Structure 1
Amino acid sequence: MTEQTIQKGTVQPMATESPATAGHPRRFWRTLALIGPAFVAGAWQFGPGNLASAVQAGSAYQYTLIWVIIVSTILMIFLTDMSVRLGIQSPVSLISSIKKRLGAAAGMVAGIGVFLITLCFSVGNAVGAGLGLSLLVPGTAPVMWSLICTLFVASILFIKSTYAVVEKILVVMIAVMAICFVVSAFVSGADWAQAALSLVPSVPSGAWILVIALVGTNFSINAAFYASYATKERKRTAEEYRTVTLVDTIPGIVAPGIMTILVIVVAAAVLGQTGSPLDSFAGLAKVFEPLAGPVGGFIFALGFCGSALSSMIPNAIAGGTMLSDAFGRGASAGTVTARVTSGCVLAFGVMVTLLFQGSPVQLIILAQALTVLVAPILAILIVFMANDRGLMGCLRNKWWQNVFGIIGVVSVCALSIRLLINFFV
């Protein structure tokens, strides 16, 4: 029977939604609201270290290292998924859960481990921001801009309203660069058949440091680790897990992986004829010349600077938050300990930039490679905690999730050993 209501003395039918359409707009917006933690992790990956390493890979080895990005992206999805489930199921922060189950020392190791990785990333961010702005303002010193950018980021960490505005500007800058990479991939004359053949794993002579740097940026264990904090902050539930996986975890990690592959493809097509690595930022900026001529360098510098600043902010926040949590000072970025530590992360990046000015591109790549020395510890902790039956319940790892988790752990362990061999042998 049609519901009725009396208006102005007459009986009129009340409008009702049909079962087929009722709630659809609300469901759409609720689903959209689930997007977040994995996209934050993905955006954190797609920083100056990622760009510099990918352009270097394409220019020096053409399409050969595309397989590294594909494998790294797949493993990153599984580790991030474990971290998201931990964020959903754990009643407290991940480090606090680690302390409860494995002891305070394990929690301290996790917090300090993430902090050390953020220190490495801070170097690439500081160098990248300085290089980008120095090309946008010819005749200026990159180091000066690195210092200015660091002070700028330090100030906006304390002013949330300013951060919201700056974040939108940075997203636009990165989006312009991303569009240029997509278009360049099709107008630069890329050899797609050769790119397809690169899916067969191989490591050219002398490419190990670059491979490790690519893994360090694309299989970013600290970003995966931090996803649990972002998930808990968003108050995700077990009922939302499947939808979160489809709309956030998978696309949030796959998107930067695809962009990185496109960067390698464009660099291989435009710069790969030389067969030698690029040591200058001006060389990297030539990647857009076939698309936009002299303006191409400006577009690349703009996007490169945007990626550095957008990565600098969450990197500092994560480092500060994790160390604060490890020392029992709170799992929030708003604690005094977290803010002071975030400042230390930024200060370290600019300090190393000031001390080592010889080859900035190589400095970025080396800093990214060093992250794999700590990554195995974090990966082991994520996999172990995701298998805790008492904590995880129905969201505990399945056997096939453990297979990929173990492959990820073994991979970063092997790369850590390889990096040490490269340094000392």
Structure 2
Amino acid sequence: MMMTGKAAAAQNAGSMERAGREPVPPSRRRMWRHMGPGIVVAATGVGAGDLVATLIAGSRFGYALLWAAVVGCIVKIALSEGSARYHLATGSTILAGWRSLGRWTSWYFGIYVVIWGFIYGATAMSATALPLTALFPVLPLRDWAMIAGVFGFLFVWFNRYETFETVMKLLVGLMFVIMVGLAILVSPSLPDLAGGMAFALPEGSLFYTLGLIGGVGGTITTAAYGYWTQAKGWRGLPWMPMMRFDNSAAYVITGIFVVAMLIVGAELLYSAGIALQDSDQGLLGLSDVLEERFGKTIATLFLVGFAATSISSLLGVWQGMSLFFSDWWYQLKGRGEGGHEGTGAYRFYLAWLTFPPMVLLFADRPFLLVIIYGAFGALFMPFLAITLLMLNNSERLPAEARNGVIANITLAGSAILFIVLAVQQVAKLAG
């Protein structure tokens, strides 16, 4: 029986793996078939908080901050590409690169990732529970939050990267179709949309604009991209074109998704003078607005897209940050690089993300923890941008893999942006 081209390619790939050989990078015409890690990092980076931030931007300023959402995606392309480029060019990991800059980098990351994981775990579970509670009100939000966390724990514990990537692609497809369809449904004004790229800065929007650039598309998860490229089997400089195509295409998808949500905010809320709550709960407010204007079916589809967005972010963090932590732990212990699935440290951090944060679900108003999370979390992004400037301009990388002029300008601009955001968040904590 004759096999299709796709089946033959799959069989050839499997034969290479069984023979112990590295997979061969695809030709440019076939790159789209091999996309994966970029979609994973983009889906992980866009969560409920990003939906709220973009919707609020549209509801308060119309299309004026569209350019900020686009710039935010460009910044994340540079950060995730720089991290993955270090992995491919050196055959090592970004954590090994940080250790080469001094042992303090390992302690900085270790303290950060433990605190971040504890607080983010509760945040991700709560965000995932919101649409589930609205769709299936048979259980209270706290119960759905715990179910979401345990689901993520079990899924990541028992599945490997291939299954994880497939599920993430399905979730991205679902959320993309629903949210872009919603943007088309509200009939955007194309001239106003084009005017949103004029780099205007409305009164009172400065720090909100910086936050939109810095937050949309992920924070620490951008540095996990290199681990997902390794899990995919991409190693060495020949995979550089594939990685860049994968990363750029994924963030183009993210950009379209973010623009779609800003359109919804501008057309549905700004024009009607409707203000949403500036928290994940605000998304439920949008559901009410959609039901009133378009009916129950559209409102339900939005909640499904909201759930897909939150679940993909939760699964991405549970899997990617566990890889990150395991690499940190085994390097700290002097046992080499250990960013692999199924290790003891990998499963420990998976449990750390899931069960201790459930304590926070019983706190009615953990505002101080949220502020600490924002302040402490803001300290990672300038660290990432600055260290990528140091590592990817060094002799550790072959000349052809080092930063170009555009990469250096983008990373330097990102570092300045994130330093400003960090000062803002720390000042908020001090206040």
Which of the five TM-score ranges fits, normalised by the shorter chain?
0.7 to 0.9
Structure 2 residue identity aligned to 1:140: L
- The within-5 A match list for 1:15-414 is 27=27, 31-32=31-32, 34-99=34-99, 101-114=100-113, 116-119=115-118, 121-138=120-137, 140-160=139-159, 171-172=169-170, 174-199=172-197, 200-202=199-201, 204-205=203-204, 208=207, 210-211=208-209, 213-233=211-231, 234-246=233-245, 248-272=246-270, 273-278=272-277, 280=281, 281-286=283-288, 288-289=290-291, 292-327=294-329, 328=331, 330-356=338-364, 371-414=377-420
Residues 92 and 178 (structure 1), Cα distance of their counterparts in 2 relative to 1, 3 Å cut: closer
TM-score, normalised via structure 1 length:
0.82
- Matched residue type, 2:88: I
Where 2:157 maps in the other structure, the secondary structure is: coil
The 3-state SS of whatever aligns with 1:178 is helix
1:153 to partner: Cα distance: 1.4
Distance 1:228 1:129, change over 3 A: same
Change (3 A) 1:219 1:171: closer
In structure 2, distance between residues paired with 1:377 and 1:358 = 27
Indicate how the Cα distance of structure 1 residues 365 and 137 shifts in structure 2: closer, same or farther if over 3 A, else same.
farther
How far 1:172 moved relative to its partner?
4.1
**Higher deviation after alignment, 379-388 or 365-374:** 365-374
Judge conservation of contact 2:287–2:302 (CA < 8 Å) in 1. yes
- Provide the secondary structure at the position in 1 that maps to 2:187: coil
Deviation for aligned residue 1:168: 5.2
Matching residue of 1:5 = none
Note the residue ranges of structure 2 that are not aligned, 5 or more in a row.
1-25
Q: Does structure 1 retain, via aligned residues, the 8 Å contact 2:188–2:267?
A: yes
Amino acid at match of 2:328: A
Contact 1:47 1:311 in 2 (8 A): yes
Distance 1:324 1:277, change over 3 A: same
Q: Provide the rounded CA distance (Å) in 2 between the counterparts of 1:116 and 1:335.
A: 21
What amino acid maps onto 1:386 in structure 2? Answer: N
- Cα separation, 2, equivalents of 1:149 and 1:412: 31
The one-letter code sitting in structure 2 at the alignment partner of 1:302 is V
Q: d(CA) in 1 for partners of 2:202 and 2:342? A: 44
Q: Which has the larger radius of gyration?
A: 1
| Letter of the 2:92 counterpart | V
C-alpha deviation, 1:228, in angstroms: 1.6
Q: Tell me, what secondary structure is at the counterpart of 1:390?
A: coil
Contact kept, 8 Å, 1:37 with 1:230, in 2: the verdict is yes
> How many residues matched?
394
Per the alignment, in what secondary structure is the counterpart of residue 86 of structure 1?
Answer: helix
Q: Distance in 2 between matches of 1:214 and 1:368?
A: 14
Structure 1 gaps of 5+ residues are 1-25
SS of equivalent to 1:387: coil
Comparing 230-239 and 199-208, the one that deviates more: 199-208
Q: Aligned equivalents of 1:77 and 1:269: distance in 2?
A: 28
Aligned 8 A contact 1:41 1:223 in 2: yes
Q: Is the 8 A contact 1:173 1:306 kept in 2?
A: yes
* TM-score, structure 2 as length reference: 0.80
**Paired residue type of 1:337:** A
Per-residue deviation, 1:300:
1.6
- Counterpart CA distance in 2 for 1:137 and 1:355 is 23
**Residues 193 and 420 of structure 1, relative CA distance in 2, 3 Å threshold:** farther
Q: Distance in 2 between matches of 1:265 and 1:303?
A: 16
Q: CA contact under 8 A between 1:387 and 1:396: conserved in structure 2?
A: yes
| Contact 1:324/1:337 (8 A) holds in 2 | yes
CA distance in 2, matches of 1:307, 1:366: 25
Q: Retained in 1: the 8 A contact 2:372–2:429? A: no
Write the distance in 1 (CA, Å) between the matches of 2:81 and 2:348: 30
After TM superposition, the structure 1 stretch with the greater mean CA deviation from structure 2, 60-69 or 347-356, is 347-356
2-side partners of 1:320 and 1:194: how far apart? 43
SS at match of 1:69: helix
Per the TM alignment, residue 335 of structure 1 is displaced from its structure 2 partner at its CA by 1.4
Query: Is 1:42–1:256's contact at 8 Å kept on the other side of the alignment?
Result: yes
**Contact 1:221–1:379 (Cα < 8 Å) also in 2:** no
> Aligned AA for 1:144?
D
Distance of 1:385 and 1:218 partners within structure 2: 25
Q: CA deviation at 1:181?
A: 2.4
